Structure 1
Amino acid sequence: MYISARERSILTLIVKQNDGIPLSDIAKSLEVSTRTIQRDLKGIEDILAEFNLSLKKSINGFGVVGNLDDRVNLMSFLGTLDHEEYTPEERQVVLLSHLLHVREPVKLYALANELNVTVATVSNDLIKVEKWLNQFQLTLIKKRGYGVEVVGDEVIIRRALSKLISENLNEDYFYQILSGVEEEQTAISRVVLKRLMHYVDLATVKKVKDTIDKWRITLVEEMVDSSYVGLIVHVTLAIERLKQGERIELRGEYLDSLQTYKEFALAKSLADELEKVMDIQIPDEEVGYISMHLRAVKWMNQKEEVLEGSDLQLAVTVKKFIDEVGKELNLSLADDALYQGLVAHLKPAMYRMSQRMKIHNPLLEKIKDDYAELFHAVKTVAKRIFHSLDIPDEEIGFLVMHFGSVLEIRRKKAELKALVICSSGIGSSKLLASRLNKEFPEITMLKNASLFELGQFQLNEYDLVISTVPLQGVDHYFHVKPFLSKDEVQTIRNYLDNVLTEKAVVWKENALQPKKGTAPPYSQHFFKVVGDINEDIQFILQQFEVKDLKPDILENNLAYLCKSYQEKKMIDSYQEVLSALLEREKLGGLAIPGTTLALFHTRHRQIKQPFFSVYDLQEPLLRRGMDNQSILVKRILILLAPEEFAEHRLALMSYISALIIESESTIQLFEQEEEIEIKQFLANQFKTYLQDIFEKEWTT
């Protein structure tokens, strides 16, 4: 069966959307017109039919009807295809590979024919290709009647090729190819590999690998995997370019300086072996080029002996670097592991930067997101300390990882206690607690409480007091939204880093071990606790429903639901419970940021039984979110508990609210799935919850 690249992309989009995706969104994603997508839909229907699936059109757009196994089979099949057509990203990678390898003008129509697209499409792709080349100071020449050509120094051309490969070909897949076992890999990597092999014979790659493997046996130290793969690619490209007559040119004085380093001798010994195996002459300039790569290699268990000269200067610079970052963050960062790690990292890194050798950091965006303030501090100080170097964000990201690992270890060693306060104690407080657990793993004991329970606690026993409502007479606490904003997370983080991570750690191992001669503390009370929780679980699952609400304002629908709860004897006065739910929303928004859900929850004396259910709105409504922003809500969740409820029973209700935002997959579950799927999920989670209770009782 032939499936075009666009059909593949359309199928991938609609199969993943349970609620449907609008035609305009599909067209926008694929950068084509809606008319083009409409023409493709007939072919999409035929392909779906082959997998016992069908195309569904609803008010939300297009989706797929069929069971999960058939969907999985379709997605698996799409992943195995060899494509003759390319997505825009694939086309740009193919164009880059072609233009970097062919050092002569290429006509636009020839590129268009090869890619099976129009000349206009190629011209548009070349705009993005040119931006990618600019980072290497390479020039893309485009002239009418002349064609397209990349112009630049051969050293830079090879660096660009290495960067292109490293961005799209991971180490695991590279090993698979060399071993002849090609397993699943992203489509973009297959395209890059195919194009690389068009210009580089696989047999050459294997010969280079085998030669490097034999040469590595003679080395005292072992290089890390990423450097090993990089060296294979680096040398293979050098040999292929030599065969094509493209030689490196290095200034005499620069080549002389390279020969003074130990890496040149290593490069020379490798070149001698390659000459025998490949039957090729490798000039000194190429040996110098290989030595440049070896100087930037990372070695296993790399430790720097700081003795004199450049090493001593680097050591002093690293100490200053650590101190300055500490001042930026108002922290003491003195740590021997951090110092040793940075010295080992920066020696090859500084050489890479001085030679403008590009490096790929696949974790860069996550590092920027997770360590925003640290990234800013490290970048600011690095540019000040290493002012003579142009430091890319990729290198900054690796430096941040060194600092971040030390901070994480320090945080994990701190045993901190936190008290979380909200008006009801079951909904917002648990949502907040979940965020705190995720953002601050150093908090090892976290207690939830309602506002009217505040007087029962000695606040000075807690390292941190956080509340979703204003507290009277409390000297120091953090007043936050139930769904912590990034600014609030950063404020709390600063407090913990500046004050609490310096506290002495006292491990209380004896207190955690059972006393000698005592039996595990099973008692009648324990079994009552389990019995209560089991009873609540059974009632919640029995009453749980996912139900459509009538097209009406939300307040009327809530009134209808509360009346139904009263009829089922779960509450006494529906008016009072309704009023409590609406008042709770006025205290702070109930819509969950980043979702289409709103969690209406309360504890009240008129509530007799714990309850949880999900309801679909006929028309989405804008409601106030926990971050005080307006959020489009499609589903509401109702969570109710009696006002006088034992702590162990209240904990179960809090557990339910935490499940909702536990992960992206649970959010999607509560946003999209039907009653049977959510009910089964809850049952499985409740089982785990009970097992944890037994396990804790057994081990404490």
Structure 2
Amino acid sequence: MYISARERSILALLVGQEKALPIREIAKELEVSTRTIQRDLKGIESILEKFQLSLQREGSTLSIKGETERRVDIMSYIWSLEHEEYTPEERQVVLLAHLLRAVEPVKLYTLANELHVAVATVSADLQKAEKWLETFSLQLVKKRGYGVEVVGDEWMVRTALKKLISENLSEDYFYHLLSRDDSEPPTIVQEALSHLLYYVDVEVIKGVKQAISEWRQLVERRIVDSSYISLIIHVTLAVERIKAGERIELCRSQLEKMQEESEYALAQSLANKLSMILGMDIPEEEIGYFAMHIHALKWDEQKDEVLYGSDLVLAVQVKSLIEIIASKYHIHFEDQQLYKGLFAHMKPALYRIEHKMKIHNPLLAKIKEEYRELFEAVTSAAINVFKGINLPEEEIGFIVMHFGSAIELWRMKVNIRALVICSSGIGSSKLLASRLKKEFPEIAELHHASLFDLREEQIAQYDLVISTGPVPGRKDYIYVKPYLDYQEVEEIRRWLDSYIGKQRNLLEEFSKQQKELVPRYELNLFERLRDINQDVLTILQHFEARKLTEQTMEENLMSICAAYVQKGALHAAQDVVTSLLAREQSGGLAIPGTHLALFHTRHRDIKEPVFAVYELEEGMHRKGMDNQPTLVKRVLLLLAPEKMEEHRLLFISSISASIIENDASIHLYEYGEEAEIKAHLANQFKQYLQEMSSEG
């Protein structure tokens, strides 16, 4: 069955949509007239019938009706066709894929045959391809009699290939295709995957999928679906490049540093699975490459552990970001899910940025359109918070999704009733009410009335009153024009945000009172409270704030740890000191913008948690968490046993996070006396236990 390039484009637009699309939008997308689209519809209907689907025409809109499986079938079929013609966009994708995967120069006439176009057309297409490749620091080399080839770092070649696939591959369809039962006829699945991934061997994809599926069973944490698909594509491309003789290069020091991280062990186990299933050796550098990608994956129930230096800085940055957005929108985000969600996203995001690992955000255009103001606000806030780090729009888009969801939830929790009054009659009030409903979906009930029929008792029933004319005897209403201009929309938004904030506070207070009336008999809660309470007592018992007199940091730490051995908090001192200094060497422990350094570690020789403050006799310049030299006058010591239950570890993490919670806290740790700091800690611990008890 022959399907033209335009028919395929129309089908691709319609099949992926549940709602009807206006014909003019389809025509605009394909850069043709609406009449041209109308002419193609007869052929579209014939194609759909063969897949038990139908074309629905409602006025000037089009939609496809039928089961999801049939939609997947038709897209699989379309993708599997050997096309007689490509759209310009498809031609560009196939051209780039061909060039990126080639291991030697490709002649122009070979590309022309591949794309079913003239050599002159290929030459024109190469100009666009060259600009796209430049964004990955890749060069397109063209020489007469030599051909065309992509020159650049192998890392960036793979990044470009992955970007190309991610931008042109629907995760939903990819998931459906990978999840197909092997007993089904394989031709559609194999040909579709072959086309989607542009000549990657489908057997390699199946082998990689099997290896990752078996590997996932060994991993305690669960990867989110989008990261699962990303990992399959990432590893598949790596395997194909290894087979083609193209290898990733990592310097020995970088590789050795990776091998110390837990992600390398996960990458090693994945490489072992791949070796068994695909019958090939995975070089050491490629395992490091896998480890970097695993480090950047998103996991379900990602732990909020702020015990390491970089995490401490990130925790403060995330909180600052939330505060800036909260202030702009006059919202108080009490829900910890926003903080945890952003922290879980930003940790791998910063790792991706540091290692130039690009990410694809399929919803970016929609996010920028629907959350334009929020997108701009988050972009501006991110520049202030993450100084020196250029967050790409794709990452900003994901951050906006977190904030957008939190803001919508915050607004929807309050039930608002509004009355619209129009002096010009009930018809005008209906039109204005319709506009208000569209602009402010958080208004649960919206009624309209004429000013002449209005009674005082009616107005009293509503939270918000909006009128197009003066309301005699009343001051608490918003005066607007019938067409509602931009400034009036902003005024109503400010009123809603303020009102919702007040109502939320009342609801939370009521909820808190209700919780206090309900007895808790959950044994697990009491056990966790017991454990944390014991850690609180231990930390306060061991706490001290005194001066250090030794000449070097190592000598000071040795003296401190030896004293804690005598107190029974440590088994031995030397290995703990070595671990503390190694931690400083790898990441820096001085807190930027302060005279504090947080020396911290978890170690098998630590028996009980310890937190203490020490003042240096003379300030020392130490490596900061931002890798810059920082003058340190006080050392904060935080020690924890190597093996701790998650709830205890979260409590220990809260100590490090609270150190730089605000300016007052920083000032206290920089200049406070032992009694002041200990009282502050006791108060913090009391609050933590109260919140833990309240939340259950």
Q: If the TM-score is normalised by the length of the shorter chain, which range does it land in?
A: 0.5 to 0.7
TM-score, normalised via structure 2 length: 0.61
Tell me, yes or no, if structure 1 residue 417 matches structure 2 residue 402.
no
Aligned partner letter, 2:382: A
Task: Please list, as runs of the form range in 1=range in 2, the aligned pairs for 1:438-477 lying within 5 A after superposition.
Answer: 438-454=438-454, 456=456, 459=459, 462-468=462-468, 475=475, 477=477
Tell me, yes or no, if structure 1 residue 225 matches structure 2 residue 225.
yes
Given that 1:94 and 1:191 are in contact with CA atoms closer than 8 Å, whether structure 2 keeps it comes out as no
> In the alignment, what sits opposite 1:601?
none
Q: Describe the superposition over 1:549-594 as per-residue Cα deviations: whole angstroms up to 9, x where unpaired.
A: xxxxxxxxxxxxxxxxxxxxxxxxxxxxxxxxxxxxxxxxxxxxxx
1:211 is displaced (CA, Å) by 1.4
Residues of 1 paired with 2:347 and 2:302: CA distance?
Answer: 11
Q: Describe the superposition over 1:415-473 as per-residue Cα deviations: whole angstroms up to 9, x where unpaired.
A: 22211122455433233323433443332232211232345466565432223456677
Query: Can you give the 5+ residue segments of structure 2 that lack an aligned partner in the other structure?
Result: 50-56, 183-188, 511-696
> In the alignment, what sits opposite 2:134?
134
Given that 1:100 and 1:161 are in contact with CA atoms closer than 8 Å, whether structure 2 keeps it comes out as yes
1:223 is displaced (CA, Å) by 0.8
Residues of 2 paired with 1:321 and 1:236: CA distance?
Answer: 36
Residues of 2 paired with 1:441 and 1:322: CA distance?
Answer: 23
Aligned partner letter, 1:437: K
Task: Please list, as runs of the form range in 1=range in 2, the aligned pairs for 1:191-206 lying within 5 A after superposition.
Answer: 193-195=193-195, 198-206=198-206
Residues of 2 paired with 1:146 and 1:120: CA distance?
Answer: 17
1:237 is displaced (CA, Å) by 1.0
> In the alignment, what sits opposite 2:645?
none
> In the alignment, what sits opposite 1:147?
147
Residues of 1 paired with 2:255 and 2:267: CA distance?
Answer: 13
Given that 2:364 and 2:397 are in contact with CA atoms closer than 8 Å, whether structure 1 keeps it comes out as yes
Aligned partner letter, 1:343: F
Partner secondary structure for residue 350 of structure 1? helix
Cα distance change, pair 10–117 in 1 and its aligned pair in 2 (3 A):
farther
Cα distance change, pair 379–315 in 1 and its aligned pair in 2 (3 A):
same
> In the alignment, what sits opposite 1:290?
290
Residues of 2 paired with 1:333 and 1:411: CA distance?
Answer: 11
> In the alignment, what sits opposite 2:497?
497
1:269 is displaced (CA, Å) by 1.5
Task: Please list, as runs of the form range in 1=range in 2, the aligned pairs for 1:64-213 lying within 5 A after superposition.
Answer: 80-81=77-78, 82=81, 83-180=83-180, 193-195=193-195, 198-213=198-213
Cα distance change, pair 21–501 in 1 and its aligned pair in 2 (3 A):
closer
Given that 2:22 and 2:62 are in contact with CA atoms closer than 8 Å, whether structure 1 keeps it comes out as no
1:502 is displaced (CA, Å) by 2.7
Task: Please list, as runs of the form range in 1=range in 2, the aligned pairs for 1:36-55 lying within 5 A after superposition.
Answer: none
1:479 is displaced (CA, Å) by 4.3
Given that 1:323 and 1:334 are in contact with CA atoms closer than 8 Å, whether structure 2 keeps it comes out as no
> In the alignment, what sits opposite 1:5?
5
Residues of 2 paired with 1:209 and 1:336: CA distance?
Answer: 35
Residues of 2 paired with 1:150 and 1:402: CA distance?
Answer: 38
Cα distance change, pair 123–497 in 1 and its aligned pair in 2 (3 A):
farther
Residues of 1 paired with 2:22 and 2:402: CA distance?
Answer: 43
1:248 is displaced (CA, Å) by 0.2
Partner secondary structure for residue 125 of structure 2? helix
1:104 is displaced (CA, Å) by 3.0
Residues of 2 paired with 1:384 and 1:394: CA distance?
Answer: 18
Given that 1:165 and 1:192 are in contact with CA atoms closer than 8 Å, whether structure 2 keeps it comes out as no
Residues of 1 paired with 2:41 and 2:305: CA distance?
Answer: 66
Residues of 1 paired with 2:198 and 2:369: CA distance?
Answer: 38
Residues of 2 paired with 1:339 and 1:70: CA distance?
Answer: 40
Residues of 2 paired with 1:372 and 1:89: CA distance?
Answer: 27
Query: Can you give the 5+ residue segments of structure 1 that lack an aligned partner in the other structure?
Result: 54-63, 183-188, 510-700
Aligned partner letter, 2:266: L
Aligned partner letter, 1:218: L
Aligned partner letter, 1:130: E
Task: Please list, as runs of the form range in 1=range in 2, the aligned pairs for 1:199-598 lying within 5 A after superposition.
Answer: 199-454=199-454, 456=456, 459=459, 462-468=462-468, 475=475, 477-480=477-480, 482=482, 488-503=488-503, 504-505=505-506
Q: Describe the superposition over 1:164-183 as per-residue Cα deviations: whole angstroms up to 9, x where unpaired.
A: 2222223332233334469x
1:194 is displaced (CA, Å) by 3.4
Cα distance change, pair 263–302 in 1 and its aligned pair in 2 (3 A):
same
Given that 2:417 and 2:464 are in contact with CA atoms closer than 8 Å, whether structure 1 keeps it comes out as yes
User: Which 10-residue stretch deviates more, 288-297 or 474-483?
Assistant: 474-483
Residues of 1 paired with 2:192 and 2:155: CA distance?
Answer: 21
Residues of 2 paired with 1:119 and 1:227: CA distance?
Answer: 39
Aligned partner letter, 2:98: H
Task: Please list, as runs of the form range in 1=range in 2, the aligned pairs for 1:11-26 lying within 5 A after superposition.
Answer: none
Partner secondary structure for residue 242 of structure 2? helix
Given that 2:105 and 2:146 are in contact with CA atoms closer than 8 Å, whether structure 1 keeps it comes out as yes
Aligned partner letter, 2:175: Y
Cα distance change, pair 48–307 in 1 and its aligned pair in 2 (3 A):
closer
Aligned partner letter, 1:227: S
Matched residue count: 486
Aligned partner letter, 2:433: A
Given that 2:422 and 2:468 are in contact with CA atoms closer than 8 Å, whether structure 1 keeps it comes out as yes
Partner secondary structure for residue 417 of structure 2? strand
Cα distance change, pair 487–202 in 1 and its aligned pair in 2 (3 A):
farther
1:412 is displaced (CA, Å) by 1.4
1:146 is displaced (CA, Å) by 4.0
Residues of 2 paired with 1:289 and 1:218: CA distance?
Answer: 20
Partner secondary structure for residue 110 of structure 1? helix
Given that 1:424 and 1:450 are in contact with CA atoms closer than 8 Å, whether structure 2 keeps it comes out as yes
TM-score, normalised via structure 1 length: 0.60
1:493 is displaced (CA, Å) by 2.2
Cα distance change, pair 465–209 in 1 and its aligned pair in 2 (3 A):
same
Given that 1:329 and 1:377 are in contact with CA atoms closer than 8 Å, whether structure 2 keeps it comes out as no
1:317 is displaced (CA, Å) by 2.1
Partner secondary structure for residue 129 of structure 2? helix
Partner secondary structure for residue 199 of structure 1? coil
Q: Describe the superposition over 1:19-56 as per-residue Cα deviations: whole angstroms up to 9, x where unpaired.
A: 9979xx96x8656899xx99x99x96995897999xxx
User: Which 10-residue stretch deviates more, 399-408 or 482-491?
Assistant: 482-491
Q: Describe the superposition over 1:265-321 as per-residue Cα deviations: whole angstroms up to 9, x where unpaired.
A: 111121122222222221211010000000001111112222232222222222222
1:499 is displaced (CA, Å) by 4.1
Q: CA RMSD in A?
A: 4.4
Given that 1:413 and 1:505 are in contact with CA atoms closer than 8 Å, whether structure 2 keeps it comes out as no
1:119 is displaced (CA, Å) by 3.1
Aligned partner letter, 1:325: I
1:498 is displaced (CA, Å) by 3.5
Partner secondary structure for residue 427 of structure 1? helix
User: Which 10-residue stretch deviates more, 374-383 or 2-11?
Assistant: 2-11
Cα distance change, pair 311–414 in 1 and its aligned pair in 2 (3 A):
same
Q: Describe the superposition over 1:330-353 as per-residue Cα deviations: whole angstroms up to 9, x where unpaired.
A: 443344222222222211111112
